[in-house]
Amino acid sequence: MANHEEQFKKLIAHTKEYGFIFPSSEIYDGLAAVYDYAPCGIELKKNIREYWWKSMVQMRENIVGVDSGIFMHPTIWKASGHVDAFNDPLIDNRDSKKRYRADVLIEEYIAKIEDKINKEVEKAAKRFGDAFNREQFVTTNPRVLEYGNKIKKISARMAHDLTVNDLTDLKKLIEELEIADPVSGTRNWTDIRQFNLMFATQIGSVSDEANTVYLRPETAQGIFVNFLNVQKTSRMKIPFGIAQTGKAFRNEIVARQFIFRMREFEQMEMQFFVAPGTELQWFEYWKEQRMKWHLSLGIPAEKYRFHDHEKLAHYANAATDIEYEFLFGFKELEGIHSRTDFDLSRHQEFSGKKIQYFDIERNESYVPYVVETSIGLDRMCLAVMSYAYNEETLPDGSERTVMKIPPVLAPYKVAVLPLVKKDGMPEKAREILSTLQKCYMCQYDEKDTIGRRYRRQDAIGTPFCVTVDTQTLQDNTVTVRLRDDMTQVRIAIAELNAFVAERLQ
């Protein structure tokens, strides 16, 4: 783990040095849990957003988009349950004065037991060699079984306590497990309290309760309240979906781990409206589709796993998270939830407006059921950057840091580099640049040796470096150097565009 922590620190430093992520308001010493995207970072973020939009909206007949306001009518948050129940259970350690989420403390405890299971499995795999059967081992080894049971018991009790809001028992659980504060090392805990995560502000010039508005804590509600407008104007038939990307705000209590948990972040959400009784099929469908989307980027499957929810929100009848193995362990990257007809019914009730769909095939009206997919764009940026960051020792003994970002997501696709800053090479390079720039984000660099320029492009993840040399001036060919294996090919300038396009597919 120490190694991972070290690696995580290096990644954070790298993303700052090479212009991916800056701490917010840095010259004023920063603002906790808010980050700014730097020139490379915004390109990466934009490319992920576009990759998502293309797969979720552009390539589907039955999903359309909206972009709703960040401020919405305050009753929306009453109807959605956020005013009364969008809380985190808070606990303080009296010695360190640090504040934690009670559920996170327990989850971290569970992760430690999972580590123990993994260690047992690794040990046995070494002992048995090729004959090792993982499945058999984890279902029969007494120690592993005992750990597994312990996890189940703890998860079930936590789920129960959170569902019925039994904060006294939740604290008892923390005490029984002898969970100590990682900072002070003591178990001197306060009682657990609920803390609402929404930011409130006042709209208009008069400040009283009636003018309170919230910064949206999720983009989903902007979709629900537009359901009828979109369905009618886009002439959509169920099943269909509405997608939205945009900022969301949560007053997170424990905001650590860089852009994993921010107070201002961006979501990419899609609500899929279906006929009652078909939602669980659609839930399975979206689970599969979303995992395919992740794997299509070429990040290895072992980096992902599903985590089905033990504790279902009262409105959900199925829920799973897609977890990614960040440098601090497997954590939620995306949620897929079958939300029943809860949201639309509540808006129907609170607005007094009928929100129903007439299904011609069934010859009946109903409030549609909803399956949602919700992914954090910033978390996805972090997942991609954590996967991409590599330190390599090359055959000649030198080192390079390379961001192996999937080419389709890379901030800059091509760097155009004149071998030397004379003999007409810069002019030729700029000519090539101006053609490629029409299609791709490109960089031009003529400073330092070619080797150093390659390293700079490796560090920001540019997949193709195009070098203009003496031969170029004679026969209109260039070398293209590939980021991942550093091989070089010589191709005609006229073929460059097709060469790049083919590899970005």
**Residues of the shown chain interacting with ligand ATP in the complex, contacts defined by CB under 6 A:** 218, 250, 252, 261-262, 265, 267, 332-335, 374-376, 378-379
What are the residues facing 468 on neighbouring strands? 418
* Token representation of residue 82: 């956020």
Closer by beta carbon to ligand ATP, 172 or else 247:
247
Q: What's the CA gap between 373 and 306, in Å, rounded?
A: 13
Reference 385, options 411, 354, 349, 362; nearest CA is: 411
Name the residue nearer to ligand ATP (CB basis): 261 or 287. 261
Which one, 60 or 309, has the nearer CB to ligand ATP? 309
Least distance (Å) from ligand ATP to the CB of residue 475?
Answer: 50
Two structure tokens written together for 307:
């985590």
* C-beta closer to ligand ATP: residue 262 or 327: 262
What number of CA atoms fall less than 13 Å from residue 310's CA on the CB side?
A: 15
3-state secondary structure at position 65: strand
Q: Judged by CB, which is closer to ligand ATP: 192, or 436?
A: 192
Q: What is the DSSP string of 419-448?
A: SSS-TTHHHHHHHHHHHHTTTS-EEE--SS
Residue length, the chain? 505
Closest-by-Cβ residue to ligand ATP is 376
Run of H or E residues at 484: none
- Name which of 225 and 460 has its Cβ closer to ligand ATP: 225
Rounded to a whole number of angstroms, the minimum distance from the CB of residue 466 to ligand ATP is: 36
Residue with tokens 């569970």, as numbered in its chain: 110
Instruction: Give 336's contacts (C-beta < 8 A, 6+ positions apart).
Output: 283, 286, 287, 290, 319, 320, 321, 322, 371, 372, 373, 374
Q: Nearest Cα to 373, choosing from 455, 271, 304?
A: 271
Phi, psi (degrees; rounded to nearest 5) at 310: -80, -45
| Cα–Cα distances in angstroms (integers) from residue 269 to residues 142, 250, 482, in the given order | 43, 16, 35
Contact (CB, 8 A) for 337 and 300: no
Q: Which is nearer to ligand ATP, 14 or 261 (CB)?
A: 261
Name which of 279 and 469 has its Cβ closer to ligand ATP: 279
Q: 256: part of which helix (H) or strand (E)?
A: none
Residue (52 or 454) nearer to ligand ATP, CB: 52
Classified as helix, coil or strand, 180 is coil
User: What is the distance between the alpha carbons of residues 215 and 199, in angstroms, rounded to a whole number?
Assistant: 6
CA distance 400 to 76: 52
Instruction: Report, in Å, the least distance between residue 8 CB and ligand ATP.
Output: 16
Judged by DSSP in three states, 373 sits in: strand
Read off the amino acid at residue 318.
Answer: A
CA distances from 464 to 163, 401, 438, 500 (A): 52, 16, 16, 8
Q: Report how far residue 57's alpha carbon sits from residue 270's, in angstroms, rounded to the nearest whole number.
A: 9
487 φψ region: left (φ > 0), alpha (ψ -120 to 50), beta (else) = beta
Provide CB contacts within 8 A for 136, sequence distance 6+: none
CB of 321 to ligand ATP, least distance (A): 7
Q: Are 4 and 328 in contact (CB under 8 A)?
A: yes
- Best CA proximity match to 428, nearest among 481, 477, 500: 477
CB of 339 to ligand ATP, least distance (A): 11
Output phi, psi for 70, to 5 deg: -75, -40
Upstream peptide bond of 239 is cis (omega within 30 degrees of 0) = yes
- C-beta of 251 vs 435, nearer to ligand ATP: 251
